[in-house]
Structure 1
């Protein structure tokens, strides 16, 4: 009897972080639920992402993994985790801590990803295929479908955020200028120049987004623009950020969590990539534009610091290149 012919099973997905990685796992989790005809889909994630994962359609229960103060909160976490017995426990994180969560849960099969590390493989009953890092992380997560002998469905990102009033005229374009890596961050003055061109040439309504730590950068950009943008940087929750991006016509960004959120919402993205590899972590889908320095031997180095101390992969990209890509997309709106 095939997997899909059995009594509807209970499915537990483990993806603890980070923002972009949660969206990478969503198509695979959706595929699994549909292909298995799962009765329930529960998801374990870190507390800061609980409300976000509740916006994923088809997730019945979200369980918070207490990353901080673990030992104090572990008993309550274990009780909640073990309330149900699962037919399939699928870990999309592939780290020792996530594998321990899989082992603690009550279930018959514990499936780890092909990219499992930190000795986590020893805690699974099986892993989903051989490692292949030369593909997108979304495709990588989908290994679990073939591993179970299931037929892969169309890739979708079923996420829904609360509606937000549209206060500014189109085209509405968001700028996300910051990431946590210096080797991903395009010079801020280039964002200023792109913003200026968008306002003067396209009459665009601009929005600045990011975390509270990014606020000084966004404030600086806003002060330099011909007209003030809507500066939402540090002013929204993750769910609120999703609501805002739902209303955008375009996002211009570095390699960042908001980039993956916008792509999941089917919003066009112009993404500037430095040290990281868009083949693996670029915005998923065909409607996006990724801007890189061509034929630069040192990229993608995937490093948090620049061995050459010149960040050529970022500094050689001009504001005009990014604006041209944005204008082409805006012309299709």
Structure 2
């Protein structure tokens, strides 16, 4: 049995997008990650090397752990200066993003990196049938990324259409800092609504998204966490790149405003300036694209 290390740090969405690759590993991997990554993967992996911060002392401690583990290969799914330094100093066979097309979907980039070794099976791309349980609306984003938030009238419009078509309750997710905003949206939309923003652990959020019939979300960590668990997912984009950050799988779709972006090209970099990015997004477009997994 080979010993495989997988490196992935960064935000929740980046770490979540790695899940299909971790599950495709032929051998139980050691995940080299942050405390957030450990919290997300504690039900998926048994072995972790956790980098608690970016201090020199912590980097040296992690490097020592890499030496001790004697990996057969380290798969660098982070491919930044820090991870490249760690893999170089670990003196272990490694693969990274060299030669990979960086203009494609992030999950595809990660899968292409992993396939440079013989330690991974093909990523599972088979859709699953969903029970008609509830619909998750992940409406918020951090204060820093208010540009990702849709205007209120779009959530009213979307929820009305979803209620008419599926007649399912809504569960609104989000972080503790987003609670007031999520609660505001909850008071506007029709149907049975439950707000769990700020009330779930990461593992509880993971299970909640896994059990949903459908997730409709801004470009966020929960969007990616929903999609990598084969929950049909509609990602709503405007201020960020819907090509690279598209949710994973044929059971997911990325929507954008085809009037605001008449040329069909995403912004070259993420935009924090609030603008009318979302006025012409049509939820029907997403439902049509996902009819193969949302059909009765």
What is the rounded CA distance, in whole Å, between the counterparts of 1:74 and 1:131 in structure 2?
Answer: 27
What is the rounded CA distance, in whole Å, between the counterparts of 1:74 and 1:140 in structure 2?
Answer: 26
| Distance change in 2, residues 1:208/1:85 (3 Å) | same
What is the rounded CA distance, in whole Å, between the counterparts of 1:24 and 1:41 in structure 2?
Answer: 16
- Pairing of 1:306-317 with structure 2 (within 5 A): 311-317=275-281
Aligned length: 285
**Residue of structure 2 equivalent to 1:174:** 136
Secondary structure of 1:296's partner? coil
Conserved? CA contact 1:16–1:98, under 8 Å:
no
**Residue of structure 1 equivalent to 2:128:** none
For normalisation by structure 2, the TM-score amounts to 0.82
- Pairing of 1:116-131 with structure 2 (within 5 A): 130-131=99-100
2:19 is equivalent to residue 26 of structure 1: yes
Cα RMSD after superposing both structures: 3.0
What is the rounded CA distance, in whole Å, between the counterparts of 2:187 and 2:61 in structure 1?
Answer: 48
Aligned match for 2:10, one of 17, 27, 40: 17
**Residue of structure 2 equivalent to 1:51:** 39
**Residue of structure 2 equivalent to 1:92:** 77
Tell me whether 77-86 or 212-221 shows the greater mean CA deviation. Answer: 77-86
**Residue of structure 1 equivalent to 2:266:** 300
Conserved? CA contact 1:44–1:64, under 8 Å:
yes
Secondary structure of 1:142's partner? helix
What is the rounded CA distance, in whole Å, between the counterparts of 2:114 and 2:167 in structure 1?
Answer: 46
Q: Which runs of 5+ in 1 are unaligned?
A: 1-7, 115-129, 158-168
Aligned match for 1:111, one of 76, 95, 98: 95
Conserved? CA contact 1:275–1:299, under 8 Å:
no
Conserved? CA contact 1:16–1:93, under 8 Å:
yes
* Deviation per residue, 1:153-180 (Å, 9 max, x gap): 33138xxxxxxxxxxx944101001234
* Deviation per residue, 1:175-227 (Å, 9 max, x gap): 00123434432223321332344446643211000111211111101222345
Larger Rg: 1
Conserved? CA contact 1:198–1:323, under 8 Å:
no
For normalisation by structure 1, the TM-score amounts to 0.74
Distance apart, 1:273 and its partner CA: 1.4
Secondary structure of 1:216's partner? helix
**Residue of structure 2 equivalent to 1:322:** 283
Aligned match for 2:47, one of 33, 55, 61: 61
| Distance change in 2, residues 1:266/1:94 (3 Å) | same
- Pairing of 1:81-230 with structure 2 (within 5 A): 81-105=66-90, 107-114=91-98, 130-148=99-117, 150=118, 153-156=121-124, 170-180=132-142, 181-199=145-163, 202-227=166-191, 229-230=193-194
Tell me whether 41-50 or 187-196 shows the greater mean CA deviation. Answer: 187-196
